[in-house]
């Protein structure tokens, strides 16, 4: 007798190899791009599924989880999981997994790329050339910040923060950091990183400040008007964590008023919306949340999420399920 295959919803197209892998195991539905960014659409469909492989843009709220009466596992196609109501999931007995590690190097590369592009004004310089303004080498054109000997302050010294620190160290930067808990001394000395307990003090000492922390109650709008006032005027801000770590209205004002010298933002509080004042802010790079966007990483993320789903649906013990988020 044929056993009924479990039903798996992948909320939008992901690398085909991952879909194929899951199809060997279950009955897979792949949603249209963006369809399940709406809670309403998810509420309509979720009841049919045993497993949900969702994007970070999908709001897996308490109502969705309650409606998902057949749901056993939610695997987020991301390391950050602030889109999922974890408390509700746990109280309903639904397992949740994320995908750390596999995106660390891609995100470290990307943060370094943003820093280089921002500190050397590559966006403005390219626009200048394309607009036909390049009329010969200029000794004073597009002077930027040289990274050597500058302080890079990192808020959130987890895997991605450390990957960025390693790269920045190779460019001669000094590494300062703030983290929920201090790193062990071996890791600190390997990274040559100095712990600063107070984020405001870190802001004061950072020529470049990078946000690499998860979005939590304590990091929500951490970078606000007051925080920005403590940053040096020449400082640059990089955010590849979550948009809501920054009060975007406050940042837009600070950029327009030259309180800080520039920002590179990969993430926004109300994605895909971008605060309108940020769109016109000087020396600001705005990117569509692509820190982990390499072929290799996106496939690895998908495979990890798929493995979590397969393990849960196969009834594996919690300690055998990859990257289970524990209560
Ligand atoms: C994640 O996986 O949480 C990141 O935001 C990807 O860029």
Return the bridge partners of 163, or none: none
Query: Could you tell me if residue 266 is inside a domain?
Result: yes
- Name the pLDDT band for 327 (thresholds 50, 70, 90): confident
Query: Could you tell me if residue 1 is inside a domain?
Result: no
**In the predicted model, is pLDDT for residue 303 greater than 80?**
yes
Return the bridge partners of 239, or none: 211, 265
Shared domain check, 84 and 204:
no
Query: Could you tell me if residue 325 is inside a domain?
Result: no
Mean of the pLDDT values across residues 214-227? 98
pLDDT tens readout for residues 180-214? 999 999 999 999 999 999 999 999 999 999 999 99
Mean of the pLDDT values across residues 276-296? 98
Strands 73-76 and 51-54, sheet pairing: parallel
Shared domain check, 48 and 178:
no
Shared domain check, 108 and 89:
no
Catalytic choice (150, 167, 178, 242): 242
- Name the pLDDT band for 1 (thresholds 50, 70, 90): low
Question: Hey, what are 324's tokens?
Answer: 């289970």
Query: Could you tell me if residue 205 is inside a domain?
Result: yes
Question: Nearest to residue 62, comparing CAs of 39, 78, 32, 44?
Answer: 39
Q: Measured in angstroms, how far is the CA atom of residue 38 from the centroid of ligand 1?
A: 19
pLDDT tens readout for residues 122-174? 999 999 999 999 999 999 999 999 999 999 999 999 999 999 999 999 999 99
Q: Which atom of ligand 1 is nearest to the CA of 81?
A: 3
- Running DSSP on this structure, what letter comes out for residue 322? T
Residues with CB under 6 A from ligand 1: 56, 78-80, 103, 289, 291-292
Which domain does 197 fall in, by range?
Answer: 104-286
Shared domain check, 179 and 57:
no
For the chain, the domain total comes to 2
Q: Which atom of ligand 1 is nearest to the CA of 241?
A: 5
Query: Could you tell me if residue 327 is inside a domain?
Result: no
Look up the CATH number of the domain holding residue 52.
Answer: 3.40.50.720
Among 58, 80, 98, the mutation site with the greatest number of ligand 1 atoms within 8 A of its Cβ is: 80
Shared domain check, 282 and 147:
yes
Q: What pLDDT, on the 0 to 100 scale, is given for residue 3?
A: 77
Return the bridge partners of 74, or none: 52, 96
Decide if 275 is catalytic. no
Shared domain check, 112 and 93:
no
Shared domain check, 64 and 143:
no
Shared domain check, 209 and 162:
yes
Decide if 271 is catalytic. yes
Instruction: Please state, in angstroms and rounded to a whole number, the distance separating the CA atoms of residues 28 and 261.
Output: 48
Shared domain check, 166 and 39:
no
Shared domain check, 32 and 47:
yes
pLDDT tens readout for residues 249-263? 999 999 999 999 999
Shared domain check, 142 and 50:
no
Q: Are 159 and 187 in contact (CB under 8 A)?
A: no
Q: What pLDDT, on the 0 to 100 scale, is given for residue 249?
A: 98
Query: Could you tell me if residue 247 is inside a domain?
Result: yes
Q: What pTM was estimated for this model as a whole?
A: 0.96
Mean of the pLDDT values across residues 260-268? 98
Among 14, 54, 76, 79, the mutation site with the greatest number of ligand 1 atoms within 8 A of its Cβ is: 79
């Amino acid at each position: 007798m044929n056993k009924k295959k479990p039903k798996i919803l992948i909320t939008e197209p992901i690398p085909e190899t991952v879909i194929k892998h899951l199809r060997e195991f279950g009955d897979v539905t792949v949603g249209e791009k963006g369809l399940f960014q709406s809670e309403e659409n998810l509420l309509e469909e979720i009841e049919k599924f045993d497993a949900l492989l969702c994007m970070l843009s999908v709001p897996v709220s308490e109502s969705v989880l309650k409606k998902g009466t057949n749901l056993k596992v939610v695997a987020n196609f991301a390391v950050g999981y602030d889109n999922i109501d974890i408390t509700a999931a746990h109280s309903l007995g639904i397992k949740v997994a994320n995908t750390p590690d596999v995106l660390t190097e891609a995100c470290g590369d990307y943060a370094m790329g943003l820093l280089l592009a921002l500190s050397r004004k590559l966006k403005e310089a390219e626009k200048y050339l394309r607009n036909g303004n390049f009329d010969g080498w200029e000794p004073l054109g597009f002077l930027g910040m040289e990274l050597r000997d500058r302080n890079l302050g990192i808020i959130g010294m987890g895997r991605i923060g450390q990957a960025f620190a390693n790269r920045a160290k190779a460019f001669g930067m000094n590494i300062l950091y703030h983290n929920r808990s201090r790193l062990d001394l071996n890791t600190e000395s390997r990274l040559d990183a100095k712990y600063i307990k107070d984020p405001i003090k870190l802001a004061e000492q950072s020529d470049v400040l990078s946000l690499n922390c998860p979005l939590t109650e304590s990091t929500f709008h951490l970078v606000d008007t007051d925080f920005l006032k403590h940053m040096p005027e020449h400082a640059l801000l990089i955010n590849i964590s979550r948009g809501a770590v920054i009060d975007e209205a406050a940042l837009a004002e600070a950029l327009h008023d030259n309180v800080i010298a520039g920002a590179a933002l990969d993430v926004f509080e109300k994605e895909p919306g971008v605060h309108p004042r940020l769109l016109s802010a000087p020396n600001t790079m705005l990117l569509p949340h692509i820190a982990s966007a390499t072929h290799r990483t996106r496939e690895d993320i998908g495979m990890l999420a798929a493995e979590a789903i397969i393990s849960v649906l196969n009834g594996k013990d919690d300690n055998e399920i990859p990257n289970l988020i524990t209560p």
